[in-house]
Amino acid sequence: MHTVDRFWSEAVGQEAAIETLEHVTSPEGASDLAHAWLITGPPGSGRSNLAYRFAAALIARTPDEREEVYRQVRAHTHPDLEVLTTEGSIIKIDDARHVASRSNYAPTNGRFRVILAEDADRLPERTSNTILKELEEPPATTVWVLCAPSEADLLPTISSRARSLRLVTPTQEAVAQLLEERDNIAPDEAARAARLAQSHIGMAKKLATDAEARERREDTLRTVLAIGSLSDAMRAAGRLAKLAEADAQALTESRDEKEREELLRNLGLAPGAAIPMKLRAQFRELEDDQKRRAKRSVTDGIDRILTDIGSVLRDTALVALDAQQPLINEEFRTQIEALAASIGAEGVLYRLDRVAAAREQLLRNVSAALVLESLMASFLLEAPHHRKDRA
């Protein structure tokens, strides 16, 4: 495998996209390089990773520099990279203004200056308008790279000014192979993680390497499949909320502490030292950011739970229709077969509609606890014609 292949190897299943990016970052393809790009694709397709690889390939002066530049780009330490992202539900307008103002700087030591927006779908209209002018008239040595699930998640005025690069969901086999080669995961464990994660690269790695994450997922499925009464549904909602909180805490706790230690170090304070009055505002700002991130992490955790519930319902539909297809959750086949016999294919479709409605409620900032209670109760209150006769 040659150097170029190794550089793009983590972008599994994205051969067409890699071919395009390899071309436009080469001297031969310079005339085809757009000033703004929109990388779209389903969750887990590797949008952010490919965007950072693309940024490194744009900045590096030679192919031999790519890996070193990528390490700096991924750590957000390269002087020719600006990253626009958020730990909250939307990107702040002040952050967008700051990044936009720096887009006119010439590259420091690379070929291009790259502005990378990881969460372009979190740009509200006013914030989008802040960067619109920069997208319309960028300097020749600046390239914008935006990431979003789909073009529809951005304002048309933004998406129309960028060249679209659409990613696809990688196969389970490709994800498993990546886990084996990159993370030294045993083949059986890699295949199982890829199956349970439904080819979501980041989640597959987490399930393969984090026993607590696997247990939380199994707990979610056991909880949902055991619902038999309204009281069960309410207990299930409470249980799922706690699982989402535990997942969020696992993601943020260690990071929060490291950020506080780093701030102390940067301000010349020893761990545990009293914080001078004039410096307290900086710590309050950090704590506010961490609280926003924690809230978003819980919402993201609820979304992962909804994805896992969706996988069970997909399996239930296959069983109800006698489709003779492999199940995602093979370990729960007995319970899934019982559910299929109870509610049938129409009941599955009803519940999938309820899951979709729950996602919409989360996007409208409805209380996560209320969303889960409503969803679990709806599984029992479905219309009678959706239920199969159990006699």
CA-based end-to-end distance of the chain: 61
Query: In this structure, is the dihedral angle defined by the CA atoms of residues 378, 379, 383 and 384, taken in order, positive or negative?
Result: negative
Per residue in 182-203, pLDDT tens? Answer: 999 999 999 999 999 999 998 9
Residue written as token pair 């899951």: 355
Q: What's the pLDDT at 87?
A: 65
Judge whether residue 249 has pLDDT over 90.
Answer: no
Per residue in 354-375, pLDDT tens? Answer: 999 999 998 788 888 899 999 9
Per residue in 311-364, pLDDT tens? Answer: 999 999 999 999 999 999 999 999 999 999 999 999 999 999 999 999 999 878
Going by pLDDT thresholds of 50, 70 and 90, the confidence category of residue 102 is confident
Q: What's the pLDDT at 4?
A: 40
pTM: 0.76
Region at 13 (left for phi over 0; alpha for psi -120 to 50; beta for the rest)? left
Q: What's the pLDDT at 5?
A: 61
Judge whether residue 291 has pLDDT over 90.
Answer: no
**Angle, CA 55 vertex, CA 53 and CA 61 arms, to 5°:** 100
Per residue in 48-62, pLDDT tens? Answer: 999 999 999 999 999
Per residue in 109-146, pLDDT tens? Answer: 999 999 999 889 888 888 888 888 888 888 899 999 99
- Angle (deg, nearest 10), helices 368-378 and 230-266: 150
Q: Are 207 and 307 in contact (CB under 8 A)?
A: no
Strand 81-84 and strand 142-148: the pairing is: unpaired
Q: What's the pLDDT at 306?
A: 94
Judge whether residue 31 has pLDDT over 50.
Answer: yes
Judge whether residue 383 has pLDDT over 70.
Answer: no
Q: To which H or E segment does residue 329 belong?
A: none
Would you state the structure tokens that stand for residue 369, as one six-digit string? 């606890």
* CB atoms inside a 10 Å sphere around CB 289: 15
* Calpha distance 199→211 (Å, rounded): 19
